Amino acid sequence: MAQNEFHLTTSGPGLYEFTEKVMRWVADSGQSEGLLTLFVRHTSCSLLIQENADPEVQGDLTAFFARLVPPSTDPSMSYLRHTYEGPDDMPAHIKAALLPVSLSIPVWRGLPVLGTWQGIYLFEHRCKLTPIIAGIPEDPRGGRSMTNAAKNQGLRKNGRERRAIGGKFAVGIK
């Protein structure tokens, strides 16, 4: 199973595209087909596939979620109890609960299958470095990618299903 961690430096709330990093990594992995799984190991950011042609889309999404879930210092958020990590912490957790923290993207002919205007984004809801794990499973019978027969048998190695260690990440073919 090919695995990698992407480290992205963020400078506050917003969408940070990392499509090119993922495309390069998948191409270099030697995997010709499979299912790319991206998972963020943090509770206050999200992953999105979103339009990458017009930067106004990212700005509008950031503004929408800031309006939907304002900082805990906003009077409308006075009911929040988890406020000791800063006014953006609990609102970031709420946003992460509303948006995906993992993505599954098909890989075909050695590249992630994305639409013309689609990009892969980390949606940071706070200011911090956030690691992302990406992986494409190898064929458990020794090949570089999963065939339909292997998909039907499930992802297994040494008679056991591969599972996340400690619940931190999961990579598989569905």
Q: Which tops the pLDDT comparison, 61 or 137?
A: 61
pLDDT in tens, 6-32: 878 788 899 999 999 999 999 998 889
Q: Which tops the pLDDT comparison, 78 or 163?
A: 78
* Residue appearing with tokens 């980390």: 122
Cβ 35 vs Cβ 102: under 8 Å: no
Complete domains list, the chain, with CATH: 2-161 (2.60.120.460)
pLDDT in tens, 47-103: 999 999 999 999 999 999 999 999 999 999 999 999 999 999 999 999 999 999 999
pLDDT at 11: 82
What is the C-alpha separation between 160 and 146, in angstroms, rounded?
Answer: 17
